Amino acid sequence: MRVITILLALCVPAVAWGDDLPTGKLSDDDVAVEYRDGTYFSSLSLRVVAQPAQVLEVLTDFEHMADFVPNLIASRVVSRSGNVYRIHQQGNAVFGPFSFPFESERRIEWFPEGRLVAQALSGSTKYMRSELRYQGGAGGTRIDYRMEVIPDRWIPSGMGVNLMRHELAEQFSALAREIARRQNLRQHTQH
């Protein structure tokens, strides 16, 4: 059920956002998840202290993503044509005493205005669509993420909501840590 997202880059106009936006590490409470008629709807926003191009480098590093995203066992690019990627990922989401193996093949399309749209082609969901937007600003890069998913197996809605909140918080926190790590490496090699 884990959905690994990607970010896009190229500079976009600077924007302002409040200090209430989480920077880097997300808690489960920072992720909104609703369950309606068999579908989970989730959203989150965060800020990372890096420029959009540096964020893109991490979030499109599909071949190495299993090295820094928890519960992800394998990740690879199946094909790429221009701004359209096809990726395959496998993993095991763990929530308390429960374990949920997952697999996904997704089509991910990048749009130059700062938007990335992903759609499940096969795997552990009946339906999955996500949209990620990013904007560079004075404090770094703002990431806004929205997802709709229908799991391929029944999960009690209360557990599913908590699992989605936990997994997305963990996933985006791991991506933010890797962005910070690479940012620090880049700064040290420039000095």
The per-residue pLDDT for range 63-100, each reduced to its tens digit, is 999 999 988 999 999 999 998 999 999 998 887 787 88
Place of tokens 């990740």: 75
- For the record, the structure tokens of 2 come out as 């884990």
Per residue in 115-156, pLDDT (tens digit) is 889 999 999 899 999 999 989 888 799 999 999 999 988 888
Residue among 103, 44, 92, 101 nearest 70 (CA): 92
CATH fold of the domain at 28-190:
Alpha-D-Glucose-1,6-Bisphosphate; Chain A, domain 4 (3.30.530)
User: Is there a contact between 112 and 12 (Cβ–Cβ < 8 Å)?
Assistant: no
Q: Which residue type sits at 6?
A: I
pTM for the predicted model, two decimal places: 0.83
Q: 52: part of which helix (H) or strand (E)? A: helix 52-59
Whether pLDDT at 178 is above 80: yes
